[in-house]
Amino acid sequence: MPAVESTLRELLKAEGFGVLTEIDVQSTFQAKLGETFRPYRILGACNPGLAHRAISADSSVGLLLPCNVVLEEAVTGRTLVRFMEPIAGLAMVANDAVEPIAREASERLHRVAGALAGVSAAPSRT
């Protein structure tokens, strides 16, 4: 999972996103509940320019930020990466001025997902 996370962070950065928050669910469940859980991390990704535009258009958008990205170790040993869909999330605001910003954020995250899929699908080089 660390290699995928490192690549993910680089791809997010290339699209103008930084990681503002990180939640290590596995460690939290162990520390707070004494429960063993598979590796599972939630990264709060934020593109400051898009966030500024969105919050300026409607301050309630702050409730829906940042864009969460989940990394989860699957039973197969592979890492699953899931992205929050900004269009769906920001639709809750019901402000037409926010819609093009959500579309842009979505396009950027879809490029990250596509690039990440391309990297993980590429044959390994030895």
Q: How confident is the model at residue 125, as a pLDDT?
A: 38
* pLDDT reported for residue 126: 34
User: How high is the pLDDT of residue 16?
Assistant: 98
Among residues 91, 41, 83, which one has the least CA distance to residue 66? 83
The predicted structure's pLDDT at residue 120: 62
- Supply the CATH classification number for the domain 2-118: 3.30.310.70
**Residue 79, C-beta contacts closer than 8 angstroms, at least 6 positions apart:** 1, 4, 5, 71, 72, 73
Q: Residue 70: left if φ>0, alpha if ψ -120 to 50, beta else—which one?
A: beta
The overall pTM is greater than 0.85: yes
Q: How confident is the model at residue 124, as a pLDDT? A: 38
**Structure confidence at residue 119 (pLDDT):** 77
Residues of the chain falling short of pLDDT 50: 122-126
